[in-house]
Structure 1
Amino acid sequence: MSLLHVGVVRGGPSHEYEVSLKSGQAVLEALAEFPEKFLPLDILIDREGQWHLAGRPMAPQRLLLQVDVAFLALHGEYGEDGGVQGLLDQLGVPYTGSGRLASAVAFNKALTRVVVQQAGVRTPRGWVLGPDDDPKEKAGYIFRATAPPFAVKPARAGSSMGVSKVWTSAELQDALERAFAVSSQVVIEEWIEGREATVAVLEGWGGQALSALPEVEIVPPQHHAFFDYEAKYSGETQEICPGNFPKEVKETLARMARTVHSHLDLRHFSRSDFIVHPKRGVFFLEVNTLPGLTAQSLFPKAAAAVGLSFPQLVTHLISLVRAECEGRGRVASVGVV
């Protein structure tokens, strides 16, 4: 019986390079628990975009010839925006996670807002600024339309990179400068006070085509205004799974997460973030098409709540890829798992 060659792709030219290294390492360690089934290949993309196999620089076209399935542990630019997916599609290498077009749309918060709103999912009131917009003119309009505070977000970034909470026009100008340093488009949304939650969605689990795992309630430390990059990876944030929400809120969160996954045409797994206002209800914030898989990550925590260990989660995602290969008549060392 041949081993399945699983290329774990990590790193990449994004702001989330370090997080991706940790996710990839966790996946490699999980695969190492099944030496009779998998041959893990450590594929690193450095910050300059150079691909490496086991530490040796190599062209991706040559490197990927050795791979049956690519397990994408990338985050941010190139990994979640459809870049690497386009290359893998071109080379005919199957991979975990969403396809090229779905990844590109979901990575753009402005486009995502449009798609989920059309599906009936509520989002905070918002505005999109591009490089040709006059920030001062737009800021004046926004402050006249809605009372502060506001959330300022790069349209194309993850892990809360470049996100700011602002109260004044001067703060908004500074926040726009920071956000435009990360992305050519910026989303400004009304800031909704409430309890933060995230919901993981997993295909093919528990006898269902699409399952929403138990929600995780996120309680950032008091010295953080919100669940920003530092709060996500400092280990100080309380992550309660399942969250302490009423039944109807839990059901709404699960329904919205499944709707987001379906209407964005996502694949295998995703994780959607929400804010729950005590009177206005649940609002969708953003979706992650390649959720973090580090020791502090939320998707593995939600999976553990339904008895799915991290190694089981990893092998399940690979099995989804292999099932698709078999359905298309493509053999990826079939008969391994």
Structure 2
Amino acid sequence: MAKLSVGVLRGGPSSEYDTSLRSGAHVLRSLTTDWYQVRDIFIDRDGVWHMRGVPTTPERALHGVDVALNALCGEYGEDGTVQRILEKLSVPYTGSDAFASALAMHKVRAKECAVEAGLRTPQCIVFRVSEDYEKRLLDLFRSFPMPVVVKPVARGSSIGTSVAYGYTDLAESIARAFTHSNQVLIEEYIRGPEATVGVIDGFRGEEYYQTLPVEIVRPQGEMIITPELKGCGLAIGHCPSTFSHGIKQELQDAALCIHRALGARHYSRSDFIVSPRGVYFLETNTLPSLSQEAPLVQALTAAGSSLPELLEHVIVLARRGK
């Protein structure tokens, strides 16, 4: 029997370039060559595609590929851009389609979907550059209780995210966020531990399989999980978590709810805050990291599964056009 040709996309012109390289490397190691002819397709920071170290076009890189396994993270790979390239070339691919990817990446639109689906989300204001920037900034500071979380609207993995405690902090945080996006989201700070839950379509005999929640433990004194903490291994995920059975169920229900509301497919991972006031939705990753230390991989391992099992499953889904 001929082996299935699987092209693994990694890298990309994204602020999560390094995360994508780690994710893609783990995927490449996890695909058994007994079943698959694996093709390493590297995309550099400028968006140039490469095969065997040589620059090429997407058409040539994907020629003869049966399925593209999308291991990209962040913009380009997770915002619908690469999905549109793959759709134009009629190459089946893993992960959500272009529309759902773009919807989930846009934090404001994703929050609107969450609210319509009945989920709690932090109160927020969207800030845009305008002629009366200074006045709007002062009005925001006077009307919105501190501290607040400041985020670029169109970035993932906490890129450009910071906590502001006062006016100077707020101005600096918004300026930093504007370097990543032309819109900035200012959210109320919700106190409580962070949790993340995966949803996988049609996995292990279930229409929607919800992973065990992973509890993300921040170092003492840290208010949010930043890319720097993740990169240094200081944001530690625990699975099984210490949450009560009721909270675990609420987290899993919320993850499934937003997965369906966004129209995500194959798999996703959603992030939450567990507050005394309840579970608050933060964001959904339609292409969560699949690196060895990634929360989704942790959750699979805790349930007796593995990344190879997940990869085999989503490749089948992509081939079937589901």
TM-score clears 0.5 = yes
User: Which residue of the partner structure matches residue 335 of structure 1?
Assistant: none
Unaligned ranges ≥5, structure 2? none
Of 308, 312, 326, the residue aligned with 2:309 is: 312
Counterpart secondary structure, 1:208: coil
For the 8 Å contact 1:136–1:173, the answer to whether it is kept is no
Q: Which amino acid aligns with 2:321?
A: E
- Which one-letter code corresponds to 1:320 in the other structure? L
SS of the equivalent of 2:99 reads: helix
Distance in 2 between residues matched to 1:262 and 1:123, nearest whole Å: 17
Aligned to 1:301: 298
Query: 1:10 and 1:226 mapped to 2: Cα distance?
Result: 27
1:88 aligned partner: 86
Tell me whether 88-97 or 59-68 shows the greater mean CA deviation. Answer: 59-68
* Corresponding position of 1:99: 97
Question: 2:136 corresponds to which residue?
Answer: 138
Q: Secondary structure at the match of 1:36?
A: coil
Cα deviation, residue 225, structure 1? 2.7
- Report the CA distance shift for 1:198/1:91 in structure 2 as closer, same or farther (over 3 A): same
- 1:126·1:188 contact (CA, 8 Å) conserved in 2? yes
**Distance in 2 (alpha carbons) for counterparts of 1:89 and 1:146:** 43
Q: How many residues align?
A: 322
Q: CA shift at 1:237, angstroms?
A: 2.4
Match in the other structure for 2:18:
18
Query: Which residue of 2 is the match for residue 148 of structure 1?
Result: 146
SS in 1 for 2:137: helix
2:158 equivalent among 157, 160, 164: 160
Matched residues in 2 for 1:136 and 1:254: separation? Answer: 42
Residues 260-303 of structure 1, C-alpha deviations (whole Å, 9 max, x = no match)? 0001000100010000112x111000110100011221110011
Q: Which amino acid aligns with 2:29?
A: E
- Name which of structure 1's ranges 140-149 and 71-80 shifts more when overlaid on structure 2: 140-149
Deviation at 1:87, TM superposition (A): 0.6
| CA-to-aligned-CA distance 1:229-283 (integer Å, 9 cap, x gap) | 01122222221112111222111111110010001000100010000112x1110
Partner of 2:320: 323
Per the TM alignment, residue 142 of structure 1 is displaced from its structure 2 partner at its CA by 3.0
CA distance in 2, matches of 1:247, 1:48: 46
Q: Quick one: distance in 2 between partners of 1:137 and 1:251? A: 44
> Which residue of the partner structure matches residue 244 of structure 1?
242
Code of the residue aligned with 2:18 in structure 1: it is E
**Residue aligned with 1:205, SS:** coil
**Residue equivalent to 2:196:** 198
Partner of 1:331: none
1:216–1:242 CA contact under 8 A, matched in 2: yes
DSSP-derived class of the 2:163 partner: strand
State the match for 1:29 in structure 2.
Answer: 29
Aligned with 1:176: secondary structure?
helix
Q: Structure 1 stretches of 5 or more lacking a match?
A: 326-337
Distance 1:255 1:143 in 2: 35
Give the Cα–Cα distance (whole angstroms) in 1 for the partners of residues 90 and 269 of structure 2.
Answer: 26
1:183 aligns with one of 181, 184, 202? 181
- In structure 2, what is the Cα distance between the partners aligned to 1:65 and 1:314? 21
Cα root mean square deviation, aligned = 1.3
- SS of the aligned residue for 1:62 comes to helix
Contact 1:224 1:231 in 2 (8 A): no
Q: Is residue 232 of structure 1 aligned with residue 230 of structure 2?
A: yes
Q: Specify which of 264, 281, 286 is matched with residue 283 of structure 2.
A: 286
